[in-house]
């Protein structure tokens, strides 16, 4: 656009509109902050409910907080939720850390081979990865459940392994879950890394080749060091995905009672009893399960956001 004439014209239009502009700004700020409150409101209600006694839950309005110095305040729900879920939280970490790490490493290697090396058939592998990011999980869960329970029961096949200290046969299902998580994380993680590697200058690679580098040393010396920011994005994005996922644990471990059940699975049925639902306990359990992802999100929300965009936009 004609940038030379812009400043003078702009000032002419902006200055007389100054008053309208502030009104506009006031409306804008009111709107964005009202919406922020609306978005946080269900979570706010969940937090204050989790600190109420069962009596207070029924006697106070759901969005009125009860403070520590008031009657009806309790942290017993959180204590109980923690004692029920602590094993599940541990299992979640045992699941999510290897799954996220291995998916990131394998995804990075695959993306490198799809962008910086030319080989016959790479389009097929690429399309395979891209298309798989969209498949509904339901289309595969019957075979996956049967694969791990009927054909490859790791708890039996790896019998001697479970005699090692700290390992139990039920960890077989955890291992099955991790392998499944890796397979289902690879497509999106590969697509994320690929988007990033496409922006790396090809001349850099060619120069290294002339210096005698092969495809392995190029990855190790050039690509890997440059991938650090993308690894952060992928870790955060995929950590959240795996931590939150529920269907795979459900079909591989078939129920909240399983000793290797992650927190999302163990959460089901918490706060349900014959006397009805204990909503305070339920909220405490739900928030406790969500806490690791919320912490990650608050610390690195921008990386999470770029994970969403990089993969799809």
Partner 1 sequence: MSTETENTGEALDSSQSQLRRLIGADAIKSMPFWLLPAFLVGLFIYGAVLWNFVISLTDLQGFGTPSFSQLDFDMYGRAFSDPQFLFAGQNTIVLLVVFTIVCLVLGLGLAILLDQDIRRRGHLRTIYLLPFSLAFIVTGQVWLWMYNYNYGVVNTFTRSLGLGQYQIIGNSQIILGAIITALAWQFVGYTMVVYLAGLRTIPDDQFEAARVAGVKDYRIYWKVIIPQLKASAASAGVILMVFALKTFDFLFAMFGQYRPQKGADILATMMVREAFQKLEWAYGASIAVILFLMALGIISPYIYYQYKVNEI
State which of positions 139-158 bind partner 1 (CB under 8 A).
139-147, 150
Closest CA to 232 of 305, 159, 169, 284: 305
User: Is 197 a residue that touches partner 1 (CB under 8 A)?
Assistant: no
User: Is 26 a residue that touches partner 1 (CB under 8 A)?
Assistant: no
The pair of three-digit structure tokens given for residue 313, joined into one six-digit string: 């936009």
The residues near 282 (Cβ < 8 Å, ≥ 6 apart) are 270, 271
Stretch of 70-78, 81-89, 124-132, 158-166 contacting partner 1, by CB under 8 A: 124-132
Stretch of 30-38, 71-79, 81-89, 157-165 contacting partner 1, by CB under 8 A: 30-38
Q: What is the closest distance, in whole angstroms, from the C-beta atom of residue 215 to partner 1 in the complex?
A: 6
Which string of x and - marks every residue 52-91 that binds partner 1 (by CB under 8 A)?
Answer: -----xx--xxx----------------------------
Stretch of 82-90, 105-113, 163-171, 225-233 contacting partner 1, by CB under 8 A: 105-113
Can you tell me the distance from the alpha carbon of 43 to that of 86, in angstroms, rounded to the nearest whole number?
A: 22
Block residue for tokens 């919406």: 35
Q: Which is nearer to partner 1, 161 or 213 (CB)?
A: 213
Which string of x and - marks every residue 156-195 that binds partner 1 (by CB under 8 A)?
Answer: -----------------------xx-xxx-xx--x-----
Radius of gyration for the chain, computed over Cα atoms and rounded to the nearest angstrom: 26
The stretches of 70-137 forming alpha helices (DSSP H) are 76-115, 122-132
Stretch of 65-73, 80-88, 210-218, 224-232 contacting partner 1, by CB under 8 A: 210-218
User: Is 225 a residue that touches partner 1 (CB under 8 A)?
Assistant: no
Sign of the CA dihedral 14, 16, 18, 24? negative
The residues near 73 (Cβ < 8 Å, ≥ 6 apart) are 51, 52, 53, 56, 66, 67
DSSP letters spanning 60-88? S-TTS---TTSTTB-SHHHHHHHHHHHHH
Q: Which is nearer to partner 1, 9 or 70 (CB)?
A: 9
The site that binds partner 1 (CB under 8 A) totals a number of residues, namely 117
User: Is 20 a residue that touches partner 1 (CB under 8 A)?
Assistant: no
């Amino acid at each position: 656009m004609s940038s030379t004439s812009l400043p003078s014209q702009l000032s002419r239009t902006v200055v007389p509109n100054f008053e309208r502009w502030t009104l506009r700004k006031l409306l804008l700020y009111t709107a964005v902050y009202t919406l922020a409150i609306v978005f946080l409101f269900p979570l706010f209600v969940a937090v204050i409910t989790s600190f109420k006694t069962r009596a207070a839950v029924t006697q106070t309005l759901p969005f009125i907080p009860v403070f520590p110095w008031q009657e009806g305040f309790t942290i017993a729900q959180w204590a109980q939720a923690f004692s029920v879920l602590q094993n599940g939280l541990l299992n979640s970490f045992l699941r999510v850390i290897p799954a996220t790490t291995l998916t990131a490493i394998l995804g990075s290697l695959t993306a490198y081979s799809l962008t910086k090396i030319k080989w016959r058939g790479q389009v097929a592998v690429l399309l395979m990865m891209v298309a798989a990011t969209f498949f509904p999980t339901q289309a595969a869960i019957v075979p996956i459940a049967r694969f791990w329970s009927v054909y490859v029961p790791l708890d039996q096949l790896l019998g001697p392994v479970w005699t090692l200290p700290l390992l139990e046969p039920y960890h077989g299902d955890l291992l099955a879950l991790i392998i499944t998580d890796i397979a289902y994380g690879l497509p999106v993680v590969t697509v994320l890394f690929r988007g990033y590697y496409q922006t790396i200058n090809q001349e850099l690679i060619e120069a290294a080749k002339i210096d005698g580098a092969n495809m392995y040393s190029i990855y190790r010396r050039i690509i890997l060091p440059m991938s650090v920011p993308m690894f952060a994005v992928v870790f955060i994005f995929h950590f959240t995905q795996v931590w939150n996922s529920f269907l795979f644990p459900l079909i591989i471990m078939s129920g909240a009672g399983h000793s290797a059940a992650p927190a999302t699975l163990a959460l089901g049925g918490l706060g349900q009893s014959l006397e009805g639902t204990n909503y305070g306990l339920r909220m405490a359990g739900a928030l406790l399960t969500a806490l690791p992802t919320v912490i990650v999100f608050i610390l690195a929300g921008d990386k999470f956001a770029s994970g969403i965009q990089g993969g799809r936009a």
